[in-house]
Structure 1
Amino acid sequence: MTTRLEVAATPTAPALVLRPWSPADAAGLSALSGDEALRRWTSFAIDDEPSAARWLREQRHGWERGRRFAFAVEEVGPSVGGLPAGHVVLKDVVPGAASAEVGYWTVARARGRGVAPRALDALSDWARATFACDGLIRLVLRHKADNTASCRVAEKCRYALTAVLPAQPPAWPLEGHLHTRHLAERAG
């Protein structure tokens, strides 16, 4: 199974590399604790290096169990460096199941620059190539209904809005959106 994905540069954005998270990422993750948008739109619960190390262990265990495949998203180029620009994840992967879920987030410096849709497209293509033979035919994406940026990313990546989800406090205090992408559709 390929665990490193490369995304070509565009005229306006550097190349991306998607790779599994590693213990060396703990300091960088803990530095994101003050990112209010990340906390508002995601379940990001990292406050310091020990909580970052726990989160990283959870990501590694997901890979080991073959149920959750989390990737750090890195920008590649001479003017880019340091911390990952984001995170994409394929989760709830079950052999023989028709659906799995995707998720993502980006750090402040990467927002609005096409990082999230490019990384999500790469993850979606990887999921198709890796798990279609096990019966995976569709991916779903959930986000809070008032997160218009996530809606735009979903639409750019051909995840159609298929349902409005009722609020489920405390994790989902407001309505959510459910987007679906059928894996027979290739990136365009």
Structure 2
Amino acid sequence: MFSSVTLRSAATEDRPALLLRPWREADVPALRRAHADPVLRRRTAYPVVGESDGLMFVEDHRRDWELGTRFGFAVLEEETGRLVGCAVLKRPSAAGPAAEVGYWTAAHARGLGVAPRALEAVTAWAFETFGGAGLDRLDLLHQEDNEASCRVAAKSGYALEAVLPPAPPEFPLSGHLHVRRAPA
């Protein structure tokens, strides 16, 4: 139903336009290169090491799109098609009031405003698409020591709502919960 969704973030004077679209098998080589970054591997719950991991990543995202539970976008520079990140909307309940957003940026694209622009595109799409079904809140979670994600959240209008205690083994460190509410 949503598998043909394409989102855009316009170019600025010093930054290229971004294109967000569902993951494809052709993205696997670039996905593997992005996941070679130790910073990304440390922060992601879904590491992609080999070809089979990449194909499983794409297949899992395709299935989740069809189920309507998780909408993962490859984030590309529109002009070059170069993979610069990932943005995702996790929607555990089709009619629930809350959903979760997430993102990562490839090492070569950090500091270029990719994450805030991709997050803004997914945020606007989420409220536009699911607001009529009751979505009125988006949660953004990250480990407390991830200062870059905290800056992205603030730039994107996600207010810090709570510091969460560690929950080992999956979340060994405390975390931040940032929230953005639907526009009035």
| Aligned length in residues | 182
CA distance in 1, matches of 2:35, 2:133: 37
SS in 2 for 1:117: helix
Structure 1, unpaired ranges of 5+? none
Residue of structure 2 equivalent to 1:76: 78
Residue of structure 2 equivalent to 1:110: 109
- Deviation per CA, 1:23-60: give whole Å up to 9, x if none: 11112212233201101222131111111101111100
What amino acid sits opposite 1:61 in the alignment?
R
Residue of structure 1 equivalent to 2:57: 55
Post-superposition, which runs of at least 4 consecutive aligned residues in structure 1 deviate over 6 A?
A: none
CA distance in 1, matches of 2:116, 2:34: 21
Residue of structure 1 equivalent to 2:98: 99
Tell me if structure 2 keeps the 8 A contact 1:91–1:100: yes
Residue of structure 2 equivalent to 1:32: 34
Under a length normalisation based on structure 2, what TM-score does the superposition of the two structures give? 0.94
What amino acid sits opposite 1:124 in the alignment?
T
Q: CA deviation at 1:76?
A: 2.2
CA distance in 2, matches of 1:32, 1:44: 12
| Matching of residue 122 in structure 1 with residue 124 in structure 2 | no
What amino acid sits opposite 2:88 in the alignment?
V
SS in 2 for 1:44: coil
SS in 1 for 2:171: coil
Q: CA deviation at 1:62?
A: 0.6
Q: CA deviation at 1:128?
A: 0.7
Structure 2, unpaired ranges of 5+? none
Q: CA deviation at 1:135?
A: 0.3
Tell me if structure 2 keeps the 8 A contact 1:33–1:48: no
Tell me if structure 2 keeps the 8 A contact 1:30–1:52: yes
Deviates more, 1:91-100 or 1:140-149: 91-100
Residue of structure 1 equivalent to 2:138: 139
SS in 2 for 1:34: coil
Residue of structure 2 equivalent to 1:13: 15
CA distance in 1, matches of 2:180, 2:35: 31
Tell me if structure 2 keeps the 8 A contact 1:100–1:139: yes
SS in 2 for 1:103: strand
Determine what percentage of the aligned residue pairs are the same residue: 49
Deviates more, 1:171-180 or 1:87-96: 87-96
CA distance in 1, matches of 2:127, 2:97: 11
Q: CA deviation at 1:96?
A: 1.9
